[in-house]
A and B are shown apart, each in its own frame.
Chain A
Amino acid sequence: MENKTTYTVALAGNPNVGKSTVFNALTGLRQHTGNWTGKTVSCAVGYRDIPEGSLRLVDVPGAYSLDPRSPDEAAAAEMIAGGGDIGRAEAVIVVCDACCLERCLIFALQVINTGIPTVLCINLVDEARRRGISVDTEKLSRLLGVPAVPCAARRGEGLDVLCREAVALARYAEEKPAVTEDIESVSCRAERVSRQCVRTDGNSGEREKRLDCILTGKYTAYPVMILLIAIVFFITLKGATPLSDGLQWLFTRLIFWTEAVLLNVKLPTWIVSALCDGILATMFRVVAVMLPPMAIFFPLFTLIEDVGYLPRVAYNFDDTFKRCGACGKQSLSMMMGLGCNAAGVTGCRIIDSPRERMIAILTNSFMPCNGRLPVLAAFAACLGTMIGAGDMFETVAMCLFLSMGVFATFGVSAFLSSTLLRGEASSFTLELVPYRLPKLRDVFVRSALDRTVFVLGRAVAVAAPAGLVIWTLVSCSYGGVSLMEHLTSLLDPIGKILGMDGVMLSAFVLALPAAELTVPLMLMGYSASGDVVLSSAMSTEAFAGLSAVNLLCAMIFTLFHWPCSTAVITVYKETHSVKWTLLSVLVPTGVGCALCAFVNLLFSLPLWT
């Protein structure tokens, strides 16, 4: 007889033990991210049905202890130990890494001490086997008084048994009274239990030692990192371009078709134009430009993360960041910013110190995201043709500008930490996780899906309204001149100071919702027709009227200007402060204006004859 009751079970454990893999394997696509009401922490909730009952799994943030040190850990503690307004789970699955069981047991024992029905998931047993580590889960279970299930989540092994145990606990087991035990005593017990249940043949950790000699070695660390970023970049750009072109081709046909259909139905031309040339064209453009690079970059990034390399990046860079008053983990949020600045800002959560986190948030937009990279590339190509440089110019220019972004990050971080965000260098710990082979297909599918949802959501929520606004500006006139032209004339004086002109500056302003719109907006501004031509392909002839300085300043401004609207909203969500959100807009804009004005001034001096 099937049991239809749903039991809420928390999935907890140390970071990096494969908890997400367990969660994804158990819930598949039946999951969503939810915000605990009133808290800033978000968590994933998923479902799994078995004959014995239904599981509602809550993926609690990874924690080393139930002593709350951050909002994440506090929410986790509340779900497990109770005593808050989240509500206690009915049972807990504590995921442990079989390769470092002793450390994981420290957390597991704390959870058991709270009295909540607990089952241990001894994960990564396949990895442990490879390293000559074996865990006697039956003995472990006897010693601790809780069920212990060996699993290899990335192969799907052990998960059915785990579910059954969890449901059985939630259904029948009773909460025990909480036991207070200090951490020293817990550590001692963890060691004692582990010594009796874990057997090691040989020295596990050899693989890490050998790899880390190269990946964190004095002379090899930086070249390897630069090479890796270059490879990721190369694959992303080369892979994305044909896909973007393909999508653009498809969408152009879709718009023609829609236009024809709507005109056939005798809808007034201006409505059809607003819909097709404004809303649809903008939405499609944003999707065509952003989706392919994101669907490549983020899976690659997640792959690097799952392999275990990312902590090494933070490890290698820490000294440079410390000298700027920041933290090595900022390198990771910077890398995420290369994919999407909003994701980069969210990624700053990994930095423990609030002061250093703020520095990372404020400087994140110095990394050009997937939306701005094609814009930079377009300008670079134009500039290259204009000054008659060779084929390599575009690549060299991109590398140069990326380096500029990195140096600006260091410089501004140092500046912030000696002015607005003064403070001591923080203490932090970094776990250098063991190197593992992730399940490639799962990583790619899941990451690509997540990013697709994000891009499509943004297209509807942000790009569609933006498209309508742009269409209105172009199509509506006042005093015989379109609103767009009014805007361009208004911004022209400022544009000229910055080495650009009104059209360029308006394009940057109107591209606030999505940086991908910058080039089409400029093309529109320069084209004589005054039509909304967002769906046309990029042609560099339109830029023929510009000088090299114009293009150079445009490139600088692309790198250093206000973050896109999604990023700004994300900053507000992370900081809950209008002041800091405003600063996240002013800092890059200030740097951009200063640099552009300087370059403009420099090239206008009578030194160049």
Chain B
Amino acid sequence: MTDGEGIFPLSALPVDGRGTVAGFLETEITPRLRELGFSRGVAVECVGRNPGGGMSAYKLRGSVIALRREDASSVILEVLPSSTEENGDGK
């Protein structure tokens, strides 16, 4: 993956992968996601998957939210160059 490239849905983030929220697809769940802290520029980390694989856990703004794959695809992430900064998580 080259620097700056790589716009992908949250559902495609592998476990232990990190990214920054770039935007949203407006769906039923998007307003709720915004309330939970998903907003442009926020750093997100995928911290795990459930046994069946249909839900994944995402850490952002210090808390962990689990989403179904279909719902996670409403959030668009990007991997910024040198995005290994501790930006926003661990708070």
Contact = CB atoms under 8 A, between A and B. Distances in A.
A237 interface: no
A429 B32 contact: yes
A224 to B, nearest CB: 11
Contact of A64 (B36, B66, B90): B36
Nearest to A110: B35
Interface in A147-194: 183-184, 187-188, 190-191, 194
Contacts of B47: 205, 208-209, 212
A71 interface: no
Contacts of B54: 318-319, 322
Interface stretch (B1-9, B23-31, B77-85): B23-31
Contacts of B59: 205
B61 A319 contact: no
Interface residues of A, number: 54
Contacts of A203: 90
A3 interface: no
Given A100-B91, A432-B66, A316 B34 contact: no
B63 A100 contact: yes
B37 A187 contact: yes
B62 A102 contact: yes
A195 B89 CA distance: 11
A322 B68 contact: yes
Nearest to A188: B39
B59 to A, nearest CB: 6
Given A430-B65, A431-B63, A216 B48 contact: yes
Given A69-B32, A318-B50, A99 B62 contact: yes
Contact of B91 (A69, A102, A212): A102
B48 A316 contact: no
A56 interface: no
Nearest to A208: B64
Interface residues of B, number: 39
Nearest to B53: A319
A103 B62 contact: yes
Contact of A209 (B48, B51, B71): B48
Q: Which of B40, B47, B52, B54 has the most CB of A within 10 A?
A: B52
Nearest to B71: A427
A608 interface: no
Given A102-B37, A183-B34, A316 B50 contact: yes
Nearest to A430: B66
Contact of A427 (B28, B39, B42, B88): B28
Contacts of A99: 62
Nearest to B57: A432
Given A209-B48, A427-B68, A200 B35 contact: no
The 9 closest A-B pairs by CB, nearest first: A319-B52, A100-B62, A427-B29, A100-B63, A187-B39, A65-B35, A319-B54, A102-B61, A430-B66
Interface of A: 64-65, 67, 69, 97, 99-103, 106-107, 133, 183-184, 187-188, 190-191, 194-195, 198, 200, 202-205, 208-209, 212-213, 216-219, 221-222, 311, 315-316, 318-320, 322, 328, 425, 427-434
27 contacts: A64-B36, A99-B62, A100-B62, A102-B37, A103-B37, A103-B60, A103-B62, A133-B91, A183-B31, A183-B34, A191-B42, A191-B88, A203-B90, A209-B48, A212-B57, A221-B50, A221-B51, A222-B51, A315-B55, A315-B66, A319-B54, A319-B55, A427-B27, A429-B36, A430-B65, A431-B65, A432-B64
Given A100-B62, A213-B48, A221-B51, 12 more contacts: A102-B62, A103-B63, A203-B90, A205-B89, A319-B50, A319-B51, A319-B52, A319-B53, A425-B68, A427-B27, A427-B70, A429-B29
